Amino acid sequence: ALELAQELAEELWSAGLPGDLPELEPECRSLLAAFAEGSAALTGCLGRRARPVRLCQGCHGHYRRLLAQYGSIARAVGNSSESHNCAKSILTSDRLQIVVTLSEFFNETWEAANCANCLKNNSEGLSNSTEEFLDLFNKSLTCFEHNLQGQGIDLSPNNYTEVCKNCNETYTKLNDLYNHLQRLNRQGGESAHSAHLCIDVEDAMNITRKLWSRTFNCSLPCSDTVPVIAVSSFILFLPIVFYLSSFLHSKQKKRILILPKRIQSNANLVNIQEKYS
């Protein structure tokens, strides 16, 4: 049997085999080629924009096109028969299911990055709030760079005061907007990833905060200073109020206890005076 199989294989190879798989129709080959090109384009985009993170704002077009290409494969049916449709031939004809695996990888990466939180509902572009945040982010970096250039070559920590002073307003707006977007996102989502903004915004804010606090050693004035001082003062005075009230309460008790003794002593004195009068 083994010799027969070898002879059959030799005959097939000598006769020549087509370059493409015989069960893959031209329409399906075209769809598979488009998906392969889309996967390569999206992979390259993700790799180039991995640091600093610009995945959502730079690769959403590639991702949207890849979704459409995968959908075309899943819906396409060949012309010959139902058993040779593109979905079956490309997606489920082998154990590895490469196209399905690639599609799941891109979907999981996109969801983990929370890119939907930065895009419009149709994913055709960045949302207005994201554009506003990125605009403030760029202004903050421009302010940092401008004030550092003005200081010349002396960039010791003691000379970062100009950065802190001149860029405080822009940085405060950026920080406030980020906190506002975080609150809105937490109120509107219930999934595990909904507590986070998209990775582009998070990474941009992390970079800015590290520069502001660690590199430049700047501090952001707290807007709630007065309430904090009031609450702290109240807490500090609580022990004094407690001990003072305890002291007055105990003194009042002593007066109540001593008062009958004085009355009794006065009565005895009157009785003695009447006895000897």
Domain-embedded: residue 274: no
The residue that leads in pLDDT, 226 or 145, is 145
Within this chain, do residues 109 and 132 fall inside the same structural domain, yes or no?
A: no
- What's residue 80's pLDDT? 47
Domain hosting residue 108, numbered range: 22-113
Q: Which of 141-155, 191-205, 243-257 has the lowest mean pLDDT?
A: 243-257
**By CB neighbour count within 10 A (0-12 exposed, 13-18 middle, 19+ buried), where does 168 fall?**
middle
Give the Cα separation of 277 and 274 in Å (integer): 5
Could you tell me how many helices (H) and strands (E) the chain has, helices first?
10, 0
Q: How confident is the model at residue 253 (pLDDT cuts 50, 70, 90)?
A: low
* Cis peptide leading into residue 52 (ω within 30°): yes
The 3-state secondary structure of 87-136 reads HHHHHCCCCCCHHHHHHHHHHHHHHHCCHHHCECCCCCCECHHHHHHHHH
Task: Give the model confidence (pLDDT) of 38-60 as tens digits.
Answer: 999 999 999 999 999 999 999 99
Report whether 173 contacts 136 (CB < 8 A). yes
Q: Which of 113, 140, 167 is the last residue of a domain?
A: 113
Give me the number of domains the chain comprises.
Answer: 2
In a domain, 263, yes or no: no
For residues 206 and 135, state if they share a domain: yes
Provide the percentage of residues in the chain whose pLDDT is more than 90: 48
Residues 103, 141: one domain?
no
End-of-domain residue from the set 169, 198, 215: 215
Per-chain mean pLDDT for the chain: 79
Do 55 and 113 touch, CB atoms closer than 8 A?
yes
Which residue reads 């977007």 in tokens?
181
Return the pLDDT at 82: 47
One domain for residues 32 and 109: yes
Q: List, for residues 83-108, the tens digit of each pLDDT value.
A: 458 898 899 888 989 999 999 999 99
User: 145 with 194, same domain?
Assistant: yes
Residue 159 inside a domain? The answer is: yes
Judge if 104 and 26 occupy the same domain. Answer: yes
Tell me what pLDDT residue 237 has: 60
Residues 60 and 139 in one domain: no
Specify whether 105 is located in the same domain as 58.
yes
> What is residue 158's predicted lDDT score, i.e. its pLDDT?
56
User: Per the domain annotation, does 76 fall within a domain?
Assistant: yes
Looking at residue 20, what is its pLDDT?
Answer: 47
Which one, of 90, 61, 93, 60, lies nearest residue 75 by Cα? 90
Of 122, 29, 115, 119, which is closest to residue 68 (Cα–Cα)? 122
Residue 239 lies in a domain: no
Question: 25 or 10, which is more confident?
Answer: 25
The answer to whether position 171 is within a domain reads: yes
Looking at the predicted structure, is the pLDDT value of residue 192 above 50?
no
In a domain, 245, yes or no: no
132 with 89, same domain: the answer is no
Tokens of 74: 């899943």
Residue that terminates a domain, selected from 113, 136, 159: 113
> Do 74 and 151 belong to one domain?
no
| pLDDT at residue 270, rounded to an integer | 53
% the chain with pLDDT above 70: 62
Asked whether residue 144 falls in the same domain as residue 195, the answer is yes
pLDDT tens readout for residues 14-36: 555 555 445 678 889 999 999 99
At 165 the pLDDT is 93
Distance of CA 191 to the CA centre of its chain: 13
Distance from the Cα of residue 132 to its chain's centroid: 17
- Give a yes or no: residue 202 inside a domain: yes
One domain, residues 109 and 27: yes
Q: Report the alpha-carbon distance of residue 57 to residue 131 in Å, rounded.
A: 10
* 266-276 pLDDT tens trace: 555 555 555 55
